[in-house]
Amino acid sequence: MSVKLYEIAQAAGVSISTVSRVLNNDKSKPASKATADRIIKIACDLGYYTPSRPLPGKYKKNAEHNLVCFLASSSDTFRDHFFSEMLQGIQKEAEAHSYSITHTLSISGTNMGTISSYIDGSQPTGIILMGRISRNVMNFLNANAVNMVYAGLNKLNTNIDQVICDAYSAIVDSVNYLAKCGLTKIGYIGTIPTETSDILNEHRFQAFYDGLKQNQLPFDLAFCRNIVLGTRQGYNATVELIRAGTIPEAFCCGNDNTALGVISALTDYQYRVPEDVSVIGLDDIELAKYMRPRLTTFNVQAAELGKFAVKVLDDRIKGNHTSPILVQFPSTLMIRDSCAVKSTP
C-alpha cells in the first residue's frame, strides 16, 4: 500500500500542506530546516520514496508534478480489467513525462469528504477522472478549479478535457451487427439510468434503444435488466429472465464481465450459445478470446486511453490549450463465436 501524505504529517506532527511543500521542494512558504529534515527522514522511514519515486540528492525531490487518479464510480474498482488496463497506460505515460502518481483514489467504500482530504493533502497538479461521474462529484471538482481530464467510455456532458472510446457508438454498432445476423428479438443487460439518476455519463442503454430504432426493430423492456455491471449480476439477471420465460434471440451486454455471466447462466440452463441465444459484449477483456464460446465484443484500447489522458493533461498543465478538447478513439468489432446468423426455416 502506498504511503499517504497524511501519514507522514501525523508522524511528523505537522500539517499535510507542510509535508506537501517539503516533499515538493516548494519554496514559496519554506519550512525550517529542522522541520524539513524531520519530514524527509519520516518519509524515507515509511517507504514514501521508491525506485519509481527516488529521492535525488540529500533532500531535494525532482521538480515533478503530482497527479491523482480518481475512480468516481462506487460500483467500479481498479481490479476491473478495463480500469486496471487504463491505469497501466496512465502510469507508463506519467513516468515518461516525469509525473508522480501520488494517489489512486476510488469513491467505492468511502465518501467525498475523505476524497477531498486526500486531494487537498496531495495538492495535485492534475486529476485523471475515470468511471461514471455524478453531478455531486463534478461540482466538487469544478469548485476546486484543478486541471483535470476524463478518460473512459461514456462522454461527459461537461466542459472538461476528455479522452474516450465512445461506448454509445459501440453499442449502436453491436445492435447493427446483431441485426445483420438476422436477429430481431434483442435484449439488454447492463446499467439502465433512471429519470432521477444524477450520473452524467452513462449512455449505453440509450444507445441500445437508438440502435433498435435505427434498424426498425421492436424494443421490449421485458428482455432487459438493470444491473450494476459484473459477472455475478449478469448471471443473476439472466436466470431471472429464464425463469420468467422471456429469453430473446440475442443479448447486448454493457461490458464483457456482464456477458460472461450471461453466457454462464444460459449454459447452466441448457441454452446453447450462439445456436439458441447470441451474446455480444464490450471492452474485449483478455478472457474473451479464450473462453468457450469465444466472446464477440468490441476492443476499446483501455491502455491507450490512459496514455493519452496523461498527454492531454500535460498539454493543459503547460498552458498549450485552454478550451476543452475531446480525443476519441475508435472501437473495433472482434467477431468470434458467441453470435450466429439466424437460420431461416
pLDDT tens column, 278-337: 999 999 999 999 999 999 999 999 999 999 999 999 999 999 999 999 999 999 999 999
* 36 in Cβ contact with 59 (< 8 Å): yes
In the predicted structure, residue 109 carries a pLDDT above the cut 80: no
Location of each CATH 3.40.50.2300 domain in the chain? 167-300
Mean pLDDT of 24-38: 77
The Cα–Cα gap between 87 and 34 comes to 37
- Residue 61: its pLDDT value, please? 39
Predicted local confidence at residue 2, as pLDDT:
64
The mean-pLDDT minimum among 26-40, 45-59, 92-106, 284-298 falls in: 45-59
Look at domain 167-300 and name its CATH class: alpha beta
Q: How confident is the model at residue 157, as a pLDDT? A: 85
Least confident of 38-47, 91-100, 167-176, 248-257: 38-47
In the three-class reduction of DSSP (H, G, I as helix; E, B as strand; rest coil), residue 339 is classed as coil
Q: Which H, E and C letters describe 114-137, residue by residue? A: HHHHHHHHHCCCEEEEECCCEHHH
1-63: what fold? 434 Repressor (Amino-terminal Domain) (1.10.260)
Q: Where in the chain is the domain with CATH 1.10.260.40?
A: 1-63
Cell 515538493 appears where? 24
Q: For 184-194, what is the mean pLDDT?
A: 96
Q: Would you state the pLDDT for residue 27?
A: 67
- Would the pLDDT of 4 be above 70? yes
> 145 pLDDT band (50/70/90 cuts)?
low
Give residue 51's pLDDT band: very low, low, confident or very high (50, 70, 90): very low
pLDDT the model gives residue 50: 55
Residues 6+ apart with CB under 8 A from 61: 23, 24, 25, 55
pLDDT of residue 49: 61
Of the listed ranges 93-97, 176-180, 240-244, the one predicted with least confidence: 93-97
Average pLDDT over residues 142-153: 88
* Residue 57: predicted pLDDT: 46
Q: Partners of 150 in the beta sheet?
A: 129, 162
Report pLDDT for 58: 45
What's the length of the chain? Answer: 345
Predicted pLDDT at 45: 65
Residues 6+ apart with CB under 8 A from 144: 119
The mean of the pLDDT values for the chain is 88
Q: What was the pLDDT predicted at 237?
A: 98
